[in-house]
């Protein structure tokens, strides 16, 4: 029987998978419960892919031999439950696409925080070095579409836990694990170990000549490594621990770090980097190790790191107006991201937080909140948990239910010398389409209402 592929979801992950399946002569059908963007629809039509939108035709889905599920669709969605009950294998775009990359190599980055900056930086270093490289996964173009329409030697892929969940035979040549802190627990039965297991899938199938780059300062990762001895070469990076590895490592001491892979090393002065703060030092250490492991010359690694500018929506400076600094950290959708944001603050803070809570425990933020934040602006449909948890910790707490009212409250509270920090600790879906839209609207509000 000919293989029949059904793709669930017509977003960036789904449309690329469908086109790659079509290119390889498979019987493919794409189904999206919502609407497909005009760009993706036109590409599907151009490739002659059969698709539907606005609902699922169950019979046409349940006769699949394999289903490629977009990462945003939860396992508890009725159609996914029905597929699994019928025993049809469910995989991710990553798993499917990896079958068709030939001799190309992958650098795969995951973690609760820092993965977008690290992925972008690794891609920049390899690209600057003249590598034939594509960017994909959570950022960039669809991995599947890049494989269908190009011929690259390297793929730099940012992977979420949801993507990793659907990966079984996929192998990362260079795997990078930034950290593991509680996030998305609503998708993992509120069990942290389930989420940890998902992240550790980054090293599955690695061989002895592959590399695993990880934070030795992360106690969760270190505990997992005692449970699961690895076959790959270990390249830890750290600022607080001292875990030497024969294969190589990176260690931050003061304002500089040395990254070494084998007998090749690079020294980086973090003061010369455009991206600031401890979290960005971690990102740069991981990226330097990955680039050296991929064979990039140390001089090129240093040049690209110094040339790299901040990622949009991640501690992105927007403006300084009347002595008040405005920073867009909309990508901080969990507690750990906000910890790094508050850790890097050097001025008194008016902190804008809130949105769709994912089972957050705000305890790790209390010390910084008490020391650095004088006003908390809650921006969400339901602010009860934020108000309750930070009562008595932050002197002034204001509850708002829109970006406009949150911004007006923030401007009223901020004095010259302060920072207004949008770092929500929550998903954006109660008031916005996604964190990108939240960040764009924050920047637009500042530039429209405050710039003279």
Residues in the chain: 452
Tokens 């008595």 found at: 392
Residues near 367 by Cβ (< 8 Å), separated by ≥ 6?
Answer: none
pLDDT score of 100: 98
pLDDT score of 361: 83
Distance of CA 404 to the CA centre of its chain: 27
Least confident of 181-185, 192-196, 198-202: 181-185
With 80 as the cut, is the pLDDT of residue 285 above it?
yes
344-396 pLDDT per residue, tens: 788 999 999 999 887 788 988 998 999 999 999 999 988 999 999 999 999 99
Average pLDDT over residues 159-166: 88
With 70 as the cut, is the pLDDT of residue 2 above it?
no
Average pLDDT over residues 252-280: 94
Query: What does the alpha-carbon distance between residue 9 and residue 32 come to, in Å, rounded to a whole number?
Result: 5
Query: What does the alpha-carbon distance between residue 47 and residue 45 come to, in Å, rounded to a whole number?
Result: 5
Write phi, then psi, for 411 (nearest 5 degrees).
-65, -40
C-alpha to C-alpha distances, 176 to 60, 235, 249, 331, 373, nearest whole angstrom: 38, 9, 13, 20, 33
Domains annotated for the chain, with CATH where assigned, are 4-91 (3.40.50.720), 101-307 (3.40.1190.10), 316-449 (3.90.190.20)
In the structure encoding, which two tokens stand for residue 445, read together? 């509000």
Is 108 within 8 Å of 44 (Cβ atoms)?
Answer: no
46-69 pLDDT per residue, tens: 999 999 999 999 999 999 999 999
- pLDDT band for position 1 (50/70/90)? low
- pLDDT band for position 326 (50/70/90)? very high
Bridge-based pairing of strands 133-137 and 154-158 is parallel
Query: What does the alpha-carbon distance between residue 315 and residue 283 come to, in Å, rounded to a whole number?
Result: 14
Mean per-residue pLDDT of the chain: 93
Query: What does the alpha-carbon distance between residue 229 and residue 214 come to, in Å, rounded to a whole number?
Result: 14
Average pLDDT over residues 167-181: 95
């Amino acid at each position: 029987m000919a293989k029949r592929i059904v793709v669930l979801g017509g977003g960036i992950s789904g449309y690329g998978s469908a086109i790659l399946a079509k290119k390889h002569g498979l019987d493919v059908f794409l189904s999206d419960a919502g609407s497909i963007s005009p760009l993706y629809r036109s590409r599907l039509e151009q490739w002659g892919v059969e698709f539907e939108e606005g609902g699922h035709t169950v019979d046409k889905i349940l006769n699949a031999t394999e289903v490629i599920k977009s990462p945003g669709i939860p396992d508890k969605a009725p159609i996914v439950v029905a597929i699994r009950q019928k025993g049809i294998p469910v995989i991710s775009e990553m798993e499917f696409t990896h079958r068709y990359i030939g001799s190309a190599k992958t650098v795969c980055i995951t973690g609760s925080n820092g993965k977008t900056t690290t992925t972008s930086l690794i891609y920049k270093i390899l690209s600057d070095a003249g590598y034939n490289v594509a960017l994909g996964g959570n950022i960039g173009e669809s991995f599947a579409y890049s494989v269908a329409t190009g011929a690259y030697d390297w793929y730099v892929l940012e992977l979420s836990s949801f993507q990793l969940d659907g990966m079984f035979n996929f192998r990362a040549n260079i795997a990078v694990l930034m950290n593991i802190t509680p996030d998305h627990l609503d998708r993992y039965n509120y069990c942290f170990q389930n989420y940890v297991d998902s992240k550790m899938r980054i090293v599955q199938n690695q061989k002895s000549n592959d590399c695993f780059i990880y934070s030795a300062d992360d106690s969760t990762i270190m505990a997992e490594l005692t449970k699961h001895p690895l076959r790959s070469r270990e390249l830890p990076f750290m600022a607080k621990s001292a875990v030497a590895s024969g294969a190589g490592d990176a260690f931050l001491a003061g304002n500089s770090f040395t990254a070494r892979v084998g007998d090749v090393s690079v020294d980086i002065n973090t003061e010369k980097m455009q991206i600031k703060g401890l979290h960005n030092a971690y990102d740069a250490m991981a990226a330097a190790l990955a680039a050296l492991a991929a064979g990039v010359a140390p001089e090129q690694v240093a040049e690209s790191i110094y040339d790299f500018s901040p990622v949009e929506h991640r501690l992105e400076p927007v403006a300084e107006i009347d002595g008040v600094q405005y920073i867009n950290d909309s990508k901080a959708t969990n507690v750990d991201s906000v910890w790094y944001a508050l850790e890097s603050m050097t001025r008194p803070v008016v902190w804008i937080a809130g949105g769709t809570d994912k089972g957050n425990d705000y305890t790790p933020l209390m010390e910084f909140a008490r020391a650095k934040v004088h006003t908390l602006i809650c921006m969400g449909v339901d602010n009860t948990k934020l108000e309750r948890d930070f009562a008595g910790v932050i002197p002034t707490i204001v509850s708002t239910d829109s970006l406009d009212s949150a911004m007006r409250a923030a401007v009223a509270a901020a004095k010259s010398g302060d920072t207004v920090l949008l770092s929500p600790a929550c998903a954006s879906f109660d008031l916005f389409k996604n964190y990108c839209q939240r960040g764009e609207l924050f920047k637009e509000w500042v530039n429209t209402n405050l710039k003279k």
